[in-house]
Chain A
Amino acid sequence: MDTQKKHSVLKTKNLSIGYRSKKESTLIGSNINIELHKGELVGLVGANGIGKSTLLRSLTNVQAKLDGHIYINGITLDRYSSLELAKVLSLVLTEPIFSKNLTVYELVALGRQPYTNWIGNFSKEDTLIINKALNQINIESLKHKKCFELSDGQLQKVMIARALAQDTDLIILDEPTTHLDMYHKAYILKLLQRLARETGKTILFSSHEIDLAIQLCDKMIVMSENNVVSDTPCNLISHGTFESLFPNDLISFDKKTGSFRVKK
């Protein structure tokens, strides 16, 4: 029990998420209890509009939670200053970066910002970590390319390298596989799996690639209308969680292959 607690990187307790405006608050999900441990690759799946992005935004303090608790490394999220949070949590977002005139190296190097001085000079250690990140993602050959010269898949790898250079315990990616072809979807998720194993970082991503996530993730968080379940993919399959994910008039979940089939 004790060792379990020690390695818990992200934990929520009775978390409620949603939007709060002056007049009313819209509840999107409640009673969310998840716990992610060191070195785990975790996939967050659910239908469109179910609130995956809202959950990720709440977990990363972009959006205020409605109720409950979020702990990162055992400390309440609210207690972190933005700089402290930047040293334990890095993000890969769906939004395109604003300047594509940066070189790959410059972009990855921006990941070191929380550690650099007022003008952003790199220490030897910074340079070392930047090069290591480039190396781990195998994009050293792209180092001097400008970002507008890259394909979507390459750019996604660069963004992951940037998050790695930020050297945080937890990396959260919002739909890292959108806009990618089938090969690159598998490539990116496989890469995330390798990184979680090699670096011991906890990686949480949201995705629509349920079948790939089932094959690669250590744990999955399944969001449906009524509840949020988190478990290993095997347990989730045997409990029949995936069947309740979508309306069952068009597609159905095949337990044997772990994938969805179109009904004939």
Chain B
Amino acid sequence: MQNTSKHTISFIGLVLILILVFFVNVSLGSVSIPNKDIFNIIFGIHDNLSWKYIVLDYRLPKAFTAIIVGSGLGISGLMMQTLFRNPLAGPFVLGITSGAGLGVAIVTMGASLFGGIFLGVLASKWSIVIAAILGSFLVLLIVLIVSFKVRDAMAILIIGLMFGSISAAAVNVLSYFSSAEELQQYFFWGFGSLGNLSWNELLILFLIYLPGILLSLFTIKALNSLLLGENYAKSLGMNIKQSRLMIIISTSLLAGSITAFAGPIAFIGLAIPHITRQVFSTSNHKILLPAVFLFGAIIMLICDSIAQLPSSEYTLPINAITSLIGAPVVIWLLVRKRKMIF
């Protein structure tokens, strides 16, 4: 019971940190705006139009995107790791991201292959989103079907990586046939970016993200029983097929929509659940899920603040920053824990 109160304190702390890094994130950028003015702008009492525009139409949606991306990828990583019983699982490793990438490649670069009729329809933002979600859902489904046949977790991971290679090869073929502008469009998507979303696009992202998050809440009980292994979960009356499907749909809604809007953000999905387990020292998903949400949001906001290169006019690709933070975490985990504790 003392565990619960300890966790409550941690949660309050995390929420406070989240609010803090949110404001830090909004107050940093290539144009330096004093903190006092930022508060005034947010609460609607300021009249410097260009500052107002920068804060309200660029920095705020970017910060909210960071929260959605970090929390969504973290939670889908957590669900994947428990479902596949593999600490190295995540949307990126299992080929979900590359599936989404292939989908996006087909709409951005395949337009010339499919002929001019589709051009107008295919190039819209919506079609990128739908293609990314379909691509990620397809790959996840194939990986899952394979996982029914292959029990070995390492084999499933390698199969996921193979799907990554297949997608990459398909993207290569597509890029060979496409124009410079189409190539550029795809590669900019591939760098990952949190700052490209207008309020309207953010709303669309949120509308796909929200059911994904809500669905993930309904998988908590199933995820906890999966901690014992599938046979025990079954003996506890859990409907394995239904739960698997729910986890997959939730993951593809989250990872698919985020990848579609923000590009393939590397390592967040893999690293955040591990960092959370280290700090909270529990496997109980009732605690892990909200904690991963907060950690994901916080770390993504920090990564984005770093990527902004405060007070300089350059913005680094967000993908580079998340990898710089995520990859060492994974290396550290593998070196430190010869035995992987989940």
- Chain A residues close to B by CB (< 8 Å): 60, 62, 81-87, 89-91, 93, 95-103, 106-107, 110-111, 113-114, 116, 118-120, 144, 148, 166
Contacts and interface: CB of A to CB of B under 8 A. Distances in A.
Interface residues of B, number: 28
B229 A98 contact: yes
Given A82-B239, A114-B237, A166-B236, A93 B231 contact: yes
A79 to B, nearest CB: 15
Contacts of B341: 100-101, 148
Given A86-B237, A91-B232, A97-B232, A120 B286 contact: yes
Contacts, number: 86
Contacts of A101: 277, 281-283, 341-342
Contact of A102 (B221, B227, B237, B239): B227
A82 B342 CA distance: 27
B93 interface: no
A97 B220 contact: no
Nearest to B285: A120
Contact of B227 (A89, A98, A166): A98
A113 B236 contact: yes
Nearest to A90: B235
A89 B236 CA distance: 9
Contacts of A118: 218, 221
A22 to B, nearest CB: 15
Contacts of A86: 235-237
Contact of B237 (A82, A144, A148): A82
A62 B237 contact: no
Given A118-B221, A120-B220, A110 B239 contact: no
A119 B228 contact: no
Contacts of B244: none
Contact of A93 (B225, B232, B239, B282): B232
Contacts of B229: 93, 95-98
A110 B235 CA distance: 11
Nearest to A114: B237
Contacts of A93: 229, 231-232, 235
Given A82-B234, A148-B341, A113 B227 contact: no
A91 B238 CA distance: 14
